[in-house]
Structure 1
Amino acid sequence: MTGAAERIQEMLRTFEEQAAKATQLQSAVQDMRGTATSDDRSITVSVAPSGAVLDLQLAPNAVRKQAHELQQQIMDAIRRATTNAAEQMNETVAPILGDRFSEFEEAFNAQTSVMKPREDGSSRPPKSGPDEDEDFGSDSFLR
């Protein structure tokens, strides 16, 4: 075989291996869910590996809580379920990707870092400063 034909054969072999891995990954991840339940078992959350909430179940005693307490427990359950899903993902994907797993993990973690709790424990975004009120007294918005 000539050098060009060998390179083409190698490229085809590499492509076929990658396609097989992609199919294997897709079937492994398709039904994967992370689940977490609150300590008092009143809240159960299921999430996709991406962190998307797939299911939220509230027991009757959950709605008797103060709104802030319920909010915090739901957010905590979502975080724990997301961690659970990420652990499952890592355990499933690492053997399939082999030495390319670190690249996958880096890209995946960049996407899911949004779910990390704030340092102050709050789940609310910080309040913005006051709006700048401009004087358009000359009936024009142009400066």
Structure 2
Amino acid sequence: MSADVERLAAEFAKFQSKIQDAELRFSGVGEMQDQVARLEVVATSSDRTVRVVAGAGGAVTDIQLTPDAVRQPAPALAATIMATLREAVAEAVRRQADIVDEAVGAGFGLNTADQVRQAQVEALGTAVDELPSHSKPDRSARSDDDDFSQDTIYRHPWR
């Protein structure tokens, strides 16, 4: 009978060890979800006429144009918007992958960030080192030229 008790005790100890391992692996999931929910990437076109904000999953949350932007020929403005949008979305996805890797990557043997970067290299036809860095934007150096709050991409008939 004692052999059965010892076997059950050993199995129970293994079970407890697996529970502790799972708890350790998932301990950062709540914070990861919070970080992903707060994720915001701002991309500004090289001529500073278009500003795009993207969040988790690359969802575009805002597009702002300066008065100079709408003075451009339509094809040029469309190209500027699309390039800035792609930059914002790609960076948001890279940062989200970094957040996932920080929280659970090592525990599950994941390297999501490298997979995302490789997919972007293939989709964009560029080298990994040519992808924009994933540093946070400096929001302290704003000027009046960066204030897009009163601009819109919609044409108003009363203007």
Q: Which residue of 2 aligns with 1:126?
A: none
| Deviation readout 1:22-81 (Å, 9 max, x if unpaired) | 112112222111111012211000111421111101111211111111111111101211
Aligned pairs (5 A) from 1:1-143: 2-99=9-106, 100-102=109-111, 104-105=112-113, 109=116, 116-117=123-124
For 1:118 and 1:101, locate their aligned partners in 2 and report how far apart those are by CA, in whole Å.
Answer: 24
Structure 2 Cα separation of the partners of residues 19 and 91 of structure 1: 16
Q: Structure 1: any 5+ residue segments left out of the alignment?
A: 120-143
* Contact 1:34/1:49 (8 A) holds in 2: no
Aligned length: 114
Q: 1:19 to 1:94 in 2, by over 3 A?
A: closer
C-alpha contact 1:25 1:96 (8 A) present in aligned 2 = yes
> TM-score, with normalisation over the residues of structure 1?
0.65
CA distance in 2, matches of 1:49, 1:67: 29
Shift of 1:15: 2.4
Moved more, 79-88 or 30-39: 79-88
1:17–1:5 CA distance, 2 compared to 1 (3 A): same
* Alpha-carbon distance in structure 2 between the residues aligned to 1:56 and 1:8: 52
What are the ranges of 5 or more consecutive residues in structure 2 without an aligned counterpart?
1-5, 127-159
Please report the TM-score for the alignment, with normalisation by the length of structure 2.
0.59
* Aligned-partner Cα distance in 2 for 1:59–1:70: 11
CA RMSD of aligned residues (A): 2.7
- Structure 1 residues 105 and 118: CA distance shift in structure 2, 3 A: closer
Whole-angstrom CA distance in 2 between matches of 1:3 and 1:65: 74
Which contiguous aligned blocks of 4+ residues in structure 1 show a shift greater than 6 angstroms? none
The amino acid across from 2:113 in the alignment is E
